[in-house]
Amino acid sequence: MTQLFPQLDNQFKPILYSFRRCPYAMRARMALQLSSIQVEIRDIELKNKPPAMVALSPKATVPVLQLGENTVLDESLDIMLLALSHPIETLLPSDCATEPASIEIISTIDYQHLMARIQNLAQRNDDLALIAQNDNQFKPWLDKYKYADRFPEQTEGFYRQQGEQFITLLEARLSQHAFLSGAQLSLSDIAIFPFIRQFAHVNKAWFDQSPYLKVNAWLTALIDSPLFASIMVKRPVWQWVQ
């Protein structure tokens, strides 16, 4: 990852290139929703990526956050760390008029805890280690489970069993406390949640009757949260001029 807290250009409104259903983009949008950083979200089509985005990030995968003329973040965790260093609580006094959804989002999240875990090196590294397991070990099995017909070497059930090793780890954590890293929502919850959502929806009937009761409850709570609803609003595809 790049430097933790890049400087924002006050003369430039950040632009986020995103795809609504991409789990990496989801976690970036969730973190940005919790921050004071106001961004222009440009939803794209993965089959028709805008040259403006590709020019900023040649790897051409979402999310891509343009912070200024010469500053780009194209790793979702970098975007999350930047966003969660700018919590909105500090900008909203108790008498501030906000939309009802924003009030509900704020009232259910401990911003001091979120920021403290990121600022604390040991706690941040603990979160990042769990996220690395998700991204590097669980995600490849998730892809094979989700698209088992593309990987005929093994059965869908085999790929699910490999993914279950990580689900079992999360179940153990959630048996100790309400969230993955403790009693409060943290970086790891936001970063991992979209991928567990994908895993659950490959075969929702199976997942609902699975022994992972704590994971299921945690997942349901996040899916039903105003925070998630706020980042899943459908937007028209951003139109770019060729």
112-227 in CATH: which number? 1.20.1050.10
For 90-140, the pLDDT digits (tens) are: 444 444 444 444 444 544 678 888 888 888 999 999 999 999 999 999 999
CATH superfamily of 15-86: Glutaredoxin (3.40.30.10)
* Model confidence band, residue 89 (pLDDT cutoffs 50, 70, 90): low
pTM of the model: 0.89
Domain ranges of the chain: 15-86, 112-227
pLDDT at position 98, please? 41
Using the structure block, give the residue that is written with the tokens 């950040």. Answer: 14
Q: Which neighbouring-strand residues pair with 18? A: 43
pLDDT at 37 over 80: yes
Reported as a single tens digit per residue, the pLDDT across 43-54 is 999 999 999 999
Are domains 15-86 and 112-227 of this chain identical in fold? no
